[in-house]
């Protein structure tokens, strides 16, 4: 019987410093590792422990091995060790992929609104890549991305490329004023007021801090979006990744197994309750 907690060995083949406390790693592991946009892997630092990290790009299978990207921000001991200790050539353990991803098949033929706050853009980045590769399957795309400041934005080197995707609009925001900043100053959720969408044929994908997602959901609903067409990705303390330990319980759901992507209409009774 296979042990679900067995890790694969992976080697770090590339490392990009997005911000001082956020790095993107390209991992190479033998064989094929399938994953959907929105799913996550458990990354294991040998001798220390593991942490759940969403995929930040679509996996690439090259016959004998798979290339994966994970964007890691320092939030605890394991993520701190990844960023401070691991370099190109370092080994890391990986298991997954786990959870439910973004419902891209259900979004085909519809306009898509993507709202990302801070590191919350990382699980949404594979959605953007997927839509770019299958552009004819989707309607208009609005990408709303904000961070505390311009220097806190990951993927600065590619953001302008999103505007070159056919029928796609990118809106950026910075919570705080900056000297060199040609975009909106304020919260990313404010940008929802400025998008032109057919709410009767649109879906919204939202990821970021829970407080930000609550505001985003409220504004999307006020704009006319249906609850069942608004999706959010939750970050909760996850340990096992397979719904066994119960650490990530959210109402009657387990985030690692039933999420991290949820339809808002399924979790609206829980999202507004502090402490769940």
Annotated binding site: 240, 245, 248, 256
The CA-based angle 121-238-54, given to 5 degrees, is 25
Sequence-distant (≥ 6) Cβ neighbours of residue 18 within 8 angstroms: 24, 71, 153, 154, 155, 156
Residue with token string 């994908």: 205
Annotated binding site for [2Fe-2S] cluster: 240, 245, 248, 256
231, 204 in Cβ contact below 8 A?
yes
236, 255 in Cβ contact below 8 A?
yes
138, 106 in Cβ contact below 8 A?
no
Count CA atoms closer than 13 A to 50's CA, side-chain side.
18
The C-alpha atoms of residue 99 and residue 243 are separated, in whole angstroms, by: 9
């Amino acid at each position: 019987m296979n042990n679900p907690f067995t890790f694969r060995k992976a080697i770090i083949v590339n490392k990009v410093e997005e911000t001082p406390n956020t790095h993107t790693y390209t991992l190479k592991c033998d064989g094929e590792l399938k994953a959907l946009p929105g799913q996550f892997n458990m990354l294991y630092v040998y001798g220390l422990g593991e942490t759940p990290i969403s995929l930040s790009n679509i996996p690439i299978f090259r016959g004998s091995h798979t290339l994966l990207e994970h964007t890691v921000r320092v939030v605890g001991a394991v993520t701190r060790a990844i960023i401070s200790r691991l370099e190109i050539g370092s080994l890391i353990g990986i298991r997954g992929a786990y959870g439910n991803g973004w419902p891209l098949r259900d979004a085909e033929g519809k306009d898509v609104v993507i709202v990302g706050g801070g590191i919350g853009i990382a699980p949404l980045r594979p959605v953007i890549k997927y839509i770019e590769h299958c552009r004819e399957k989707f309607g208009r795309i609005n990408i709303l991305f904000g961070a505390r400041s311009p220097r806190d934005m990951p993927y600065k080197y590619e953001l302008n490329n999103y505007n070159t995707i056919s029928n796609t609009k990118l809106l950026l925001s910075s919570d705080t004023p900056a000297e060199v900043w040609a975009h909106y100053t304020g919260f990313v959720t404010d940008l929802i007021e400025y998008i032109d969408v057919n709410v009767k044929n649109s879906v919204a994908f939202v990821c970021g801090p829970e407080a930000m997602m609550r505001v985003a959901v409220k504004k999307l609903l006020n704009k006319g979006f249906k609850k069942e067409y608004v999706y959010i990705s939750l970050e909760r303390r996850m340990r096992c990744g397979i719904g066994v330990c119960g650490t990530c319980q959210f109402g009657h759901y387990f985030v690692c197994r039933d999420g991290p992507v949820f339809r808002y209409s399924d979790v609206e009774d829980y999202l507004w309750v502090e402490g769940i």
